[in-house]
Amino acid sequence: MNTCARCRSVLEAGDLRCPVCSLPPPTAERGEAVTSKVLRCSDCHAALRYSEAFAKTVCGFCGAALELEVSTDPMEHAEAWVPFTVSKAAAIASLTRWLGERGFFAPADLAEASRVDTIHPVAWAAWIVSGSANATYGTDVYGAGRKASWGPATGRFDRQLDLIVPATQGLSREEVDDLGAYDVALTQPDALPDVPGEDFGVTRTSARARILEGVRDDALAQVGLRHRGLLRKTKVEVMLTALFTRRLLLPIWVLAYQYRNKKFRVVIHGQREQTVVGTSPLSPWRVLAVIVAALALVAALLGALALYEQVR
């Protein structure tokens, strides 16, 4: 594995420069004397010339071409799979438990009347990003003014990166956030049997842009934690100081269940059965009852107020 001489970030095959700090690798030293040479075609030994029409060096006699070494932008592929630690039976049990804990607005018979339609394992694509970054920011904070409603806040902080940046097309951003962290210490290079793995589907350049976007989102979230309350116009500049990226496929169970002929989707973390992300039906009667109760309460309060005015 090649690393940058300046920031120690990993250089991948085809990188002409460090992706973090742009340092090029050292070039070979030259000799001590001034000399000249003529480049010759390896096929016919004629002198070569760079051609602006072909953007490469071609032999004017036999047409042989010398390709230049340019920065490559290959498609991203998974380097390892993270295995499941939650079994199929445990995932179904987890779904049943989750359906029973959906709260007051869920139908009373949700857990009993629901039927698991399909369940299958999937490995979703993500970049596991570690390293460090330094963020500089400025934002408006509500309530920070003296007479004005808004006031300013600025600052700078270091951040150790430990992020999952999704490459998945199958999960929403909210589902990824709700799934949370994975233990990626144990991985395997071979595909998990009978588990479809998601394709990354982007080039390296796009991947790096997405990763940087993920780091910036993380810094924005940190600014929100540093200044409690309502923020607006938050601007962050992030400087990566080290970056290490792994392209992994992370395990989930995707379940579809039916409740009274309606289908709902649920995703269960492949390593933590208690992490269940999905949708469930609402009981229209319970929702209606709460609305009626609220209206009755408002009417009672207004009546009491009117009575109080009359008595006074």
Min dist CB 204 to another protein, Å, is 12
State the amino acid at position 272 in one-letter form: R
Q: How near is the Cβ of 199 to another protein at its closest, in Å?
A: 24
How far apart, in Å, are the Cα atoms of 249 and each of 235, 269, 309?
Answer: 32, 13, 68
Give min distance, CB of 127 to another protein, in A.
20
Residue 18 or residue 82: which is nearer to another protein going by CB?
18
> For another protein, which is the closer residue by CB, 23 or 184?
23
DSSP 197: B
Looking up tokens 């004397």 gives 33
122 or 211: CB nearest another protein? 211
At 80, which helix (H) or strand (E)? strand 80-81
Q: Are 121 and 253 in contact (CB under 8 A)?
A: yes
Smallest gap from residue 183 Cβ to another protein (A): 32
Strand partners, 237: 136
**Cβ atoms within 10 A of the Cβ of 19, count?**
20
Q: Report, in Å, the least distance between residue 159 CB and another protein.
A: 13
Neighbours of 30 (CB within 10 A): 8
Whichever of 163 and 223 has its CB closer to another protein, that residue is 223
Pairing status of strand 231-259 against strand 80-81? parallel
- Residues binding another protein (CB under 8 A): 6, 16-17, 21-24, 27, 29-39, 47-50, 52-53, 55-57, 66, 68-71, 134, 136-140, 145-156, 233, 235, 237, 239-240
- 37 or 262, CB closer to another protein? 37
Distances in Å between the alpha carbon of 221 and those of 144, 177, 212, 235, 236?
19, 12, 14, 11, 10
Using DSSP, state whether 69 is helix, strand or coil: coil
Closer residue to another protein (CB): 80 or 144: 144
Compute CA distances 191 → 86, 103, 117, 186, whole Å.
17, 39, 26, 14
Q: Which is nearer to another protein, 115 or 233 (CB)?
A: 233
Q: How far is the CB of 258 from another protein (least distance, A)?
A: 51
Identify the DSSP state of 60: T
Q: What is the identity of the amino acid at 222?
A: Q
Beta carbon of residue 245, minimum distance to another protein (angstroms, whole number): 18
Strands 56-59 and 65-66: antiparallel
Taking the complex as a whole, the smallest distance from the CB of residue 158 to another protein amounts, in Å, to: 10
For residue 33, the tally of other CB atoms under 10 A from its CB is: 5
Tokens 């990166």 belong to 161
What are 292's two structure tokens?
């009626």
